[in-house]
Structure 1
């Protein structure tokens, strides 16, 4: 049975919803044990004592370990996957591998669900909880957070990331890094860069222009670096013709020069091939073993690689570990507060589950009416989660059926394969559908034909059908979205997230999640179609290593997600930022101060939001900026501020969103810097990218 959760919704929101409204909010990096100069000095002292063989051994991993130097009392460092919790691995004897000192870890909701909360403070708490479990297990490097921008819905790793918008992703990531590293656990930003497909991922070549890299694909990394992240992992794919982990342009130019990163850069597993290029690219650590670096000593003897290149790599590893105090301490003091972490996971699911549709206010389901509720479908009695490196086993895992029975009691009836009569006799039908997404492969946007037909059969038999979707990204819902009574997007909810979903169905929790993506009507209508080689499908069985390198052309440039839909005048099925509530909200009294300003000025966008309903709830207010007089093609609107605000029935609040120079800027490919041009800008305020409530025009002098 499910343990009783006693914290009520209003208290959760009051505690959890923090004012977060501008790009220019200061994020102070974790106070490392040693600053860069001090850590560099310590690293240099050790480096001078190392033999060449020891240096070569240090710069290649040992499975999930960063190697140590026993002779010099430098211990090995344990790393672990990944963004949504600590992925534990067990040996054949049932023992946790690599000397990890914990036997269980919390399975948090998927990062894309975390992004759906639009609550940066919750991202901090989520990551801090993960960091505490890492430290208790003597894990000092988390191989996350992942932050590759959602470009195509078929990408098998979308669930590990933070959606399609660089501003939203950046705000969530900087708080994630702060929360994680506050525990003394190193955050590893991944995957740098341009990793937007898992189809034959080591054979894909992302052709991306400079402006798109800077405006769309790098800001989340920039935010993580500015927040103090101490590690970055390169990607499997090529960028413009070179594998990222051995690309001088990607690492030394984009990452180190443009973003100012100065700490540890590691490869993804088995993703680099040329040891000479690796030694000069800026990479420091090849994982999980020496593959490209095998035989590197002979290349040094031949003069093809300099020992100073190896020194640079080894020194960066040492410097980073000294900075976080990894060589001076091991386990965090005290026991893990798993109950607190589980509550953070539950709060995340409460705030990130999205109500997409609610015809005739069928939800919430009043328990007083004693509805006969039939539940059926894919994840009714089976746990929904993603796979691969992001898989976290968890504990106290609650399947949807059990959560519903706890919430609704004997009103719930489960049928694996209900008959037409059974469907018709139910007052409400809950239909569970979804996908299993994982790294290493993409999956079709369309549901399997059997699943699609089942939904159509159910809704034809009972118009009071509520569809619950568990997936890592968008799926095709066009054939039945207008026929069902309600749609809830539950993503991969983590070990206790189904409790939150049951609460939303009953009304105990008022939904407040908003889409961090756009969900298209048809995949053929999107910017990503076609992205596969001609004639190939995502299910192509050809082994990855036998597949030729193929190009993925980012022809849309900066027009990604809702930017693309706006520019092409294509209506998505559900737009970016969309999400319903059991409350209603009004917007009024928009003021922008000053209305005429220079690029050095901060601009304050203020307006009033009111809860006009009888139900307490939260609204995510969103501020978009449009450049009316731009000299280069720019999106119709771009998210530049947001705030999640909790309001009692009838309550009003004055909201202030602060914009700065970057809010009005684009990347100038001529000057190689951000540029804000004089002219008119439209400030738009709304509840989604399509639901604009207020707007006004301002002028930059």
Structure 2
């Protein structure tokens, strides 16, 4: 196996994971220790005395009602498509705040640069690139009318099932801390307030609103909290409290977490807001140090005013929360008589950074038989296979989804790069959006593909269809307005779910290429007659409707077409996907749908098959040994297609290393098959693995992963010898060696160092 040592610039980062373990493994300082004050870099910086005087003057003039207006969200009278809005007090010159989701760009109604997912950024192990990434978001946030970015996400990748792993950085506390600090600095360099989230232990979506996460102090401080502490030290303006409980108390009313640790030990001087609808109380929350409730005033509106008037909350507690918000606003120049003008967007610069990050973070997991790069005869005949080969897979779903300026398809990028001298064919392989129902199948006949329903009207179809044999169908409904009701044999196939699972349903699979919303349901249907009823309401703007399906026969035909294309080509590039989103966790670490079978069949037909993975996190790969190469691209942003083409054809060398361990199978992970660790039992989850998160667990348990933390190949083979690490010196190594291969390869490597084992 040609698993050559990859190079890159940041040995110190990875070496510090182990060599810096002495610092990483020091218990939290005792309560009496002098807190470390966070630095306060800021545009329009002012002296602390000036800020204090201005804020004091404002507080004296604010009424109680006005104070509480500043402590909770409200509807935006002129919304820009952002997540939150806090009204200002115009009579006193206090502006409103607009708060936009991140973390891979600015999520508003208008297009923005869709950067690669943070997990891909982290794979570059490059703090300078992380700062550049933050600056793009900071500038665009200001340009798009925003004041606060609800990002970055700092929670560790603890379980590979977590639905938001792509939004964060790593399973490693040290790497996460180093990178998040630079992202925060980059965002705030441009005058946008960064919000680090979700404080703390929000490492899964399943049961996130209520689960009680139990973790020992040592575990907390050596793992999850390190990234938050680094963000505070970098000057983050805001912190978002998590949904879950931490050691028995909701995070947003957890005084040991918010007051004693965050402010007392770390010296945080910004404000703490709740996650959306994560506040559970009035008195307990404000007493614990929660300054702002989002997105409304369920607890911090009228109930807070009543609590002050009734004596259960002292007005000084309200003043303190308001002060923290106003001080931060002033630090960023938002209270100035003449606030700094908002910059213009620079889409070209954003696109350049997006492409640079996608290349730098791409991880070459496997490369056998010189499958990559595609050169010579291998580049002159290429089959592109897979639905995401002709659909841009820009980002994950949920609050992380950004509307890009533009995004090419991988197929178009590969054809452009291959040029006229090459033949680039395409085969679907798997149908994500379905085929029209045959007209002769339905009785009475009905046109259910691209049906238009006028505004204010309702359209209904009731009929039957007959199957000659048992079959497995996937029924799909595409629509533009209110979801149509589709009933099969009396059962509603696409019920509207409650909460975030419905709100954030989607991602790639949630919308068709032309923008229609998509929902799907797979059913085992018996031979015979079935009743079908469809009702669609036009609503105020009219409705477009499609009802489509796939069957065993259509899936077999798609697979056969892909195998034929693979046999006829010299090289195959197969794009595989996994569609992750906020609001739900993964149910399997394998690729969804029929992709495993597709890869097996295509690779059997052509061993020069490269699998490009657009996935959120680690993936099991029972098909691995059949493939020639595997390139991990995660969610690569709007420039992902061109970056992928650059890598496939060897214009650039893959630059990334894994920031998380890929397990060999679903049971061989730190949470394993233990429901107490994940997802929890009876509403209680225990971090029973202790400090052994991620690669630490694999090392401690001597479990061999599929791919270890730090893995990543190069188009160059390097040989090292006589490496030396000097005690007391910098955390790097010296020695000799050489390499042959790609001219752009960086010979620096990263080493994972661990201290000698000693009795404790």
- Structure 1-normalised TM-score? 0.79
Whether the 8 Å CA contact 1:590–1:605 is kept in 2: the answer is no
Structure 2 CA distance for aligned equivalents of residues 579 and 126 of structure 1? 22
Match of residue 319 from structure 1: 327
Match of 1:433 in 2: 576
Matching residue within 188, 193, 209 for 2:195: 188
3-state SS of the aligned residue for 1:265? Answer: strand
- Distance, in Å, in 1 between the alignment partners of 2:721 and 2:52 is 54
Q: Which residue of 1 aligns with 2:306?
A: 298
Paired residue for 1:42, among 54, 64, 69?
A: 54
Summarize deviations over 1:410-461 as a string: whole Å, max 9, x none.
4211111325333222221211111111111101212235222222222222
Q: Residue 508 of structure 1 aligns with which residue?
A: 651
Distance 1:571 1:35, change over 3 A: farther
CA apart distance, 1:35: 4.6
Of 558, 561, 573, the residue aligned with 2:694 is 561
- 1:379, 1:432 within 8 Å by CA — same for their partners in 2? yes
The alpha carbon displacement at 1:264 in A equals: 1.1
Pairing 1:202-601 to 2, within 5 Å after superposition: 202-294=209-301, 295-328=303-336, 330=339, 332=341, 334-367=343-376, 369-384=378-393, 385-409=395-419, 410-416=422-428, 417=558, 418-444=561-587, 445-477=589-621, 479-530=622-673, 532=675, 550-593=683-726, 595=727
Q: Indicate if the aligned counterparts of 2:329 and 2:335 stay in contact, CA closer than 8 A.
A: yes
Which TM-score applies when normalising by structure 2?
0.74
Residue-by-residue CA offset, 1:280-335 (whole Å, 9 max, x unaligned):
11111111111222412222232221111111111111111011111225564553
3-state secondary structure, aligned to 2:61: coil
Give the unaligned 5+ runs of structure 1: 1-13, 90-102, 539-546, 633-701
State how far apart, in whole Å, the 1-side matches of 2:170 and 2:731 are.
26
Greater relative contact order, per chain length (Cα 8 Å cut-off, separation 6+): 2
Paired residues of 2:11 and 2:751 also in contact (CA < 8 A):
no
Whether contact under 8 Å (1:512, 1:619) holds in the other structure is: no
Alignment counterpart, residue 104 of structure 2, candidates 76, 81, 84: 84
Cα 1:262–1:572 shift into 2, 3 Å = same
Q: Distance in 2 between matches of 1:299 and 1:136?
A: 39
Number of the residue aligned with 1:142: 149
From the superposition, tell whether residues 156 and 521 of structure 1 become closer, same or farther in structure 2 (CA, over 3 Å): same
Query: Which string of whole-angstrom CA distances, capped at 9 and with x for unpartnered residues, describes residues 617-650 of structure 1?
Result: 0255324442325444xxxxxxxxxxxxxxxxxx
Separation in 2, partners of 1:313, 1:325 = 19
Distance 1:276 1:402, change over 3 A: same
Q: Secondary structure at the match of 1:190?
A: strand
Q: Deviation per CA, 1:319-363, whole angstroms, max 9, x where unpaired?
A: 110111112255645532211111010000011111100012211
CA distance in 2, matches of 1:609, 1:152: 39
Deviation at 1:237, TM superposition (A): 1.1
**Structure 1 stretch displaced more, 150-159 or 547-556:** 547-556
Q: Say if 2:156 and 2:171, in contact at 8 Å, map to a contact too.
A: yes
In structure 2, relative to structure 1, the CA distance for the partners of 1:330 and 1:84 (3 Å cut) is farther
Match of 2:95 in 1: 75
Structure having the higher Rg:
2
Provide the rounded CA distance (Å) in 1 between the counterparts of 2:611 and 2:747.
23
Check 1:46–1:620 CA distance in 2 against 1; reply closer, same or farther (3 A cut).
Answer: farther
Q: Deviation string for 1:659-682 (max 9, x for gaps)?
A: xxxxxxxxxxxxxxxxxxxxxxxx
Select between 376-385 and 151-160 the one with higher mean Cα deviation.
376-385
User: Please, which of 605, 612, 617 is the counterpart of residue 739 of structure 2?
Assistant: 612
Q: What is aligned with 2:755?
A: 627
After TM superposition, give the deviation of residue 229 of structure 1 in Å.
Answer: 1.1
Contact persistence 1:132–1:183 (CA under 8 A): yes
Alignment partners' CA distance in 2, 1:620 and 1:234: 39
Which secondary structure does the structure 2 equivalent of 1:312 belong to?
helix
CA contact (8 A) 2:11 2:748 kept: no
Regions of 4+ moved over 6 Å: 16-20, 22-25
SS for the counterpart of 1:446 is coil
Find the aligned partners of 1:378 and 1:59 in 2 and give their Cα distance. Answer: 46
For residues 498 and 281 of structure 1, what CA distance do their matches in structure 2 show? 47
Q: CA 1:195–1:605 in 2, change beyond 3 Å: closer, same or farther?
A: same
Say which is worse superposed, 412-421 or 358-367, in terms of deviation.
Answer: 412-421
In 1: Cα distance, 2:95 partner to 2:343 partner:
22
Q: Structure 1 stretch 60-69 or stretch 343-352: which is displaced more?
A: 60-69
Distance of 2:564 and 2:135 partners within structure 1 = 50
Equivalent residue in structure 2 for 1:178, among 182, 185, 198 = 185
CA distance in 1, matches of 2:65, 2:100: 26
Write the deviation string for residues 598-625 of structure 1: whole angstroms up to 9, x where unpaired. Answer: xxxx655431364411422025532444
The Cα offsets for residues 547-570 of structure 1, whole Å up to 9 and x where unpaired, read as: 996112110011011100001110
Question: Match for residue 99 of structure 1?
Answer: none
**Mean CA deviation greater in 229-238 or 334-343:** 334-343
- Report the Cα offset of residue 159 of structure 1: 0.5
Relative to structure 1, is the Cα distance of residues 449 and 82 closer, same or farther in structure 2, using a 3 angstrom cutoff?
Answer: closer
Question: Which SS does the other structure have where 1:482 is aligned?
Answer: helix
Equivalent pair of 1:135/1:330 in contact (CA under 8 Å): no
- Whether contact under 8 Å (2:360, 2:656) holds in the other structure is yes
Contact 1:43 1:315 in 2 (8 A): yes
Cα distance between partner residues in 2 of 1:607 and 1:18: 14
The reply to whether residue 56 of structure 1 matches residue 56 of structure 2 is no
Structure 2: runs of 5+ lacking an equivalent = 1-6, 24-37, 76-83, 429-557
Aligned equivalents of 1:65 and 1:105: distance in 2? 19
SS of 1:139's equivalent in the other structure is: coil
Distance 1:532 1:136, change over 3 A: same
With over 3 angstroms needed to count, the CA separation of the structure-2 counterparts of 1:586 and 1:151, relative to structure 1, is same
Query: Could you report, residue by residue, the CA deviation over 1:205-233 in whole angstroms, capped at 9, with x for unpaired residues?
Result: 21111111111111111111111111111
* Alpha-carbon distance, 1:204 to partner: 1.7
Are 2:175 and 1:168 aligned?
A: yes
- Once the two structures are overlaid, the 10-residue window that deviates more, 305-314 or 440-449, is 440-449
Displacement of 1:83 in angstroms is: 1.4
What is residue 694 of structure 1 aligned with on the other side? none
Task: Please list the CA deviations of residues 146-202 of structure 1 after superposition, one character each: whole Å capped at 9, or x if unmatched.
Answer: 111001111111011001111111111111111111111111111110011011210
Structure 2 CA distance for partners of 1:488 and 1:419, relative to 1, 3 Å: closer
Superposition RMSD on alpha carbons, in Å? 2.5
